[in-house]
Structure formats: C-alpha cells, structure tokens
Structure 1
Amino acid sequence: MGPTAMLDWNQTKRLARSLNLPNVHEDIRSDGFACLHAHGRLWTWWDSRVDAPGFRLPAGERDFLIAADPEIFFVTEAEAPYNHVLAHPARVSPRWILGNLSLSWRALAPSIFVQLFPGEGPPVPHFMEH
C-alpha cells in the first residue's frame, strides 16, 4: 500500500494478519460491522457508517491521539463510551496500525500468549473492559 493508497477493510485485515498472531478470527459485530477478534474480544473493525477502521486503545490515549492529529484520528458518538478510536483511511499510517494491533493483541491475550509472543516495545497496556 503506497502513501496515497486509500486503506480499506481488506487491507486492514491483511495488515493485521501479517503480524502472524494466533487466536485471531474474523467476525461481525452486533452492529453489523466486519471485525477481527483476538482472544474472543473485539480487536479491530471497519465502521461502514464513516468508512473507516476502528482500533482499541489503552485508557486515556484516545484524547491524546485526537488532539495530536485530528486529521487522522477521530471518534463517533457510538464509539465515544469505549476506549476506541477511528482513523481516516487515506491518512493513517500502516506502521501505526501494525504497532497498535500488536500492542492491543498483547493486551487482550492471556498471559501464556504474551509469554509465547512477547513482541517488542513498551509493557503490555491495560484496557478497560468494554
């Protein structure tokens, strides 16, 4: 995907699958949006109302991201109660997506998975339940 390519759900799934992490499966959210679950919990999805990918975040990070780059990150009223963020598909970096998905997979994983797939970077973030 080049810098000017428009991200879509298939490309988002390919990025997620390229991490080669176990216990990930495709599903449909209760609101009808296509999604990927990791360890049985929502991991990433495509919000067809705004045609954008959605991601989980550690508590308190969303407001920082939106303030730092509102041209990329935003939230809808439906996602506001959760630690979720949406990203404008023409602007979000595949590198950011991979980093977010790696960290959020680890945060959702039982400790045995984190030990088997330690990854690199900061400690495993903690997500609030939603």
Structure 2
Amino acid sequence: MTFEDVRAFAFKLPGVADGTAYGHPCLKAHGKFLTRVWDDGDTLVCPGVGFDERELLIEAEPETFFVTDHYKNYPYILIRLSRVEAGTVERLIERRWRATAPRKLLKAHDAETA
C-alpha cells in the first residue's frame, strides 16, 4: 500500500481534502486532521487509535505497527504502509473520518452506501 492508495480511498469519503499539519502535507476531514505520511513515504500517522487497541496491534504485528516517544502519550499509531493490508488502513481511516463527520453527513453517506 502507498500513500496514494490511502488518498484514493480517503477521497471517496465526503469532506476529505488535502491540507497541511505542522508544515507537512496531510489529509483533513471537515477541517480536522485525518492522516499524514512521514517524509520516508512509508510511515502513516493514524490518530484515533486508543492505547489498548494500539498495544494489541503492536503486539500482534510489531513490524507493521509501532509508536515513537513523540506519540506515546497520544491516541495515535504509526503504520508501515509497505507491510499493512489495505483493509486495515481503510477501516482506521473511515473510523477517524466518522469521528469528525457531522451527523447529518453521516446519515446521508450511510443512506447512499446502504
């Protein structure tokens, strides 16, 4: 999986746009941070992953999921795109998108995709 694959999936969701976060290109949903890729082009920064879930993911697949000291105290996980299954990233991105979306938009989106 590449960041372009992530972008292609994310742009299927209403309200997703390119943006910047701390001087780096990122994706935003409804004006809120959705995800970004590190300068290495392979590490995806994924917010909205609680500490327990993060620990389980890292324990299950330490070559794929990890966290640095910078993110240790925040509900974020880092993902190696070259090792992860697309469906896993898509589920995490959609979950984060849903957390940022207005209820009216969620209802309309869910009605369209049902």
* TM-score bucket (shorter structure): 0.7 to 0.9
| Structure 1 or 2: more strand by fraction | 2
Runs ≥4 residues deviating over 3 A: none
Structure having greater relative contact order (Cα 8 Å, sep ≥ 6) = 2
**1:25 aligned to which of 17, 22, 27:** 17
Q: What is the CA-CA distance between 1:45 and the residue it aligns to? A: 0.5
Greater helix share, structure number: 2
Measured on the aligned residues, the alpha-carbon RMSD in Å equals: 2.1
Residues 54-75 of structure 1, C-alpha deviations (whole Å, 9 max, x = no match): 1123423212211121121011
Give 1:96 shift: 0.8
Equivalences for residues 79-98 of structure 1 within 5 A: 79-98=71-90
Report what 1:35 is aligned to: 26
Partner of 1:16: 10
Do the aligned partners of residues 50 and 66 (structure 1) sit closer, same or farther apart at CA in structure 2, a change above 3 Å counting? farther
Q: Does 1:72 align with 2:64?
A: yes
Stretches of structure 2 lacking an aligned partner (at least 5 in a row): none
Q: Aligned partner of 1:26: which letter?
A: D
- TM-score with structure 2 setting the length: 0.83
The answer to whether structure 1 residue 53 and structure 2 residue 44 are counterparts is yes
- Equivalent position amino acid for 2:34 in 1: W
User: What do residues 3-44 of structure 1 show as CA deviations (whole Å, max 9, x unaligned)?
Assistant: xxxx33223212322xx21111101111x2221011111111
1:117 aligns with one of 96, 109, 113: 109
Query: Contact 1:15/1:94 (CA < 8 Å) preserved in 2?
Result: no
Aligned AA (2:79): A
Letter matched to residue 100 of structure 2: L
Mark the runs of 5 or more structure 1 residues left unpaired by the alignment: 1-6, 121-130
